[in-house]
Chains A and B, each alone.
Chain A
Amino acid sequence: MLNVFTTGVKESLQFKWAILGNVFSSFISLFLLASVWTVFFPRDYLPYFIGVYLILPSFQVYSYIAHEYANIIMKGWDLTMAKPANTFLIKTLYMYGTYAPDYLINLVIGTLTLYFFNINFNLPVVIVSLPFILIFEMALAYFITSFSYFFYTTWGIRVLLRLLDTVFGGFVFPLYLLSEQGKAIVFSFPFAHKCFFVVDGMLNNYIPFSSYINLVLWSMILFIIAFPLHKKGWKKFEGLGG
């Protein structure tokens, strides 16, 4: 299935100007956001935000995968359904492929920016964490798409999960600021483990092993809930439209 991923990469590379645009917008966003953060948060948190927005920029590919898949169900069906491959897996790998060049560019910019500000960081922590993040994102997309057979659109659940992801993941404010009780609640969800803990680990050279366990457990839970729903949904599926 590697070709599915590489085709996604090739598709993304067809639009080189769009990638350059993304590079430019990454810089602009960081500059603007950094100006706002320094008003609300001490300057100490700047490396954290560079990490969140450049090293792990909007790792919310699950939302796009879920959108693509739900679109197929809503609009009827897709020819991948008549092929010896899983449509969901094809869409996921393809989507990961299309986002790969963007992500790599962000990663390079993020790394250079951290060097520029003379901030110590440990990139291998991010590299090791990436497979766990990608598996969790896939599980989350699989979970969301299971609803598409029954409600056709998954817009509501996607918005809700992206909101939880953004807040609980540490995109809006550094989760260090939470109270102990708040941390206990937020850290039981997977979102902090796919962003906050990774960035913290990258900056402080330490990531708790339990963070990976959390992501794996949540991935398993989501797959276990979604699998029978997909099976039931497939039987219910009417594939309307010629």
Chain B
Amino acid sequence: MLLRARNITKYFNVPAGKFLIFPRWKKVKVLKGISFNIDEGEFVALLGPNGSGKTTTIKILSGILTPEEGKVEILGYVPWERKAEFLKSIGVLFGNRSNLVFDVPLMDSFLLLKDIYGLSEDFFNKRVKELAGMLGISSLLNTPVRKLSFGQRMRAEVMAVFLHKPKLVMLDEPTIGLDPVVKDEVRKFLKNINKKEKVTIILTTHNIQDVEYLCRRTLLIKNGELIWDGPTEALKTKYVKFKELEGEFGRIKDRRKLKALSRFIQIKGNRIKGKVPKHLQIKLIKLLFEAFELKSLNIREPELEEIIKQIYGE
């Protein structure tokens, strides 16, 4: 097991009302004892609404913050002890924080990271060539970072995180603000490197397409509590309460049956549309066939995004 987190609890001090000179603080529990394990090579999504504790979790896992309670062990290290060997084996990227130096060519930022991570000349040269090739930024290595477009810079940021071949990478919104083409390139790169190097990746994002494309497993945090830890697909099974239904009919066969259906479907012309509770779906579909002479019928599960919205809103 690569990562073992048990009962992580974190408090933040927030102002308790107005003050003139001496502030009064109250403690707010932002993480309420969350526990999970992550194995080597997993690609895990860490989801949750804004302010739910995702970023705090990442900061604890990367050794930036110390929790008040709980235990975390990553590759045998306690993150907040900040041992150099541990920090060398992780990589962290936050969409709104940069690993690069803005006013110097991109290569100089990488040379800086080479120095910080103590990479050998040979390894560094090969790695730069390999990653820059994969991300399509080989021709930009001598361009100052400030002259790069946002998409080019984000690809460079992603490269910077993987430069030292970390075993665990934590990415916070790596595709935020990117156009669909670059977004797709970054996703493909992440999928490839996860598969090729068995690097464990924890991804926090609000982009559900990222999750669907990349992450087999999802952790869902809400109000500081871990409310879901399991396969991304199974999220649907657990949280889908309705199925969406759409169809076309030739004529109405039995008007008496329509009354029972009217709570769940709407009729517009010769089309029907509605949401069917999961536990009643067989019964209601049977009724539909009895009530209508159906030409077509589509029943589909809502998109993951809809499900996540529903969970956030509950």
Contacts and interface: CB of A to CB of B under 8 A. Distances in A.
A84 B62 CA distance: 11
B64 A84 contact: no
A79 B98 contact: yes
Nearest to A13: B104
A14 B111 contact: no
B101 A7 contact: yes
A100 to B, nearest CB: 14
B115 A82 contact: no
Interface stretch (A162-170, A190-198, A233-241): A233-241
Interface in A17-55: none
A85 B116 contact: yes
Contacts of A237: 65
A4 B112 contact: yes
A57 B88 CA distance: 39
Interface in A198-242: 234-235, 237-240, 242
Q: Which 7 A-B pairs have the closest CB atoms?
A: A3-B115, A84-B87, A84-B84, A82-B92, A82-B62, A11-B103, A242-B55
Contacts, number: 70
Nearest to A237: B65
Given A83-B87, A242-B94, A14 B103 contact: yes
Identify which of B93, B109, B111, B116 gathers the most chain A CB atoms within 10 Å of its CB.
Answer: B116
Contacts of B90: 82
A235 B87 contact: no
B111 A7 contact: yes
Contacts of A78: 97
B244 interface: no
Contact of B13 (A77, A235, A238): A238
A7 B112 contact: yes
A240 B55 CA distance: 9
Contacts of A234: 66
Given A7-B104, A84-B88, A238 B115 contact: no
A81 interface: yes
A81 B116 contact: no
Contact of B63 (A7, A11, A14, A82): A82
Nearest to A85: B116
Interface in B50-79: 55, 59, 62-66
Interface of A: 1-4, 7, 10-11, 14-15, 77-79, 81-85, 90, 234-235, 237-240, 242
A235 B99 contact: no
B64 A2 contact: no
Given A4-B115, A79-B94, A82-B87, 8 more contacts: A3-B112, A10-B108, A15-B103, A79-B98, A90-B116, A237-B65, A238-B13, A239-B65
B96 interface: yes
A1 B93 CA distance: 22
B97 A79 contact: yes
A79 B114 contact: no
A90 B112 CA distance: 10
A85 B164 CA distance: 14
A242 B112 contact: no
Given A3-B111, A10-B108, A79-B98, A84 B13 contact: no
A197 B172 CA distance: 52
B170 to A, nearest CB: 8
B228 interface: no
B104 A14 contact: yes
A77 B115 CA distance: 21
Nearest to B118: A84
Contacts of B151: none
Contacts of A1: 115-116
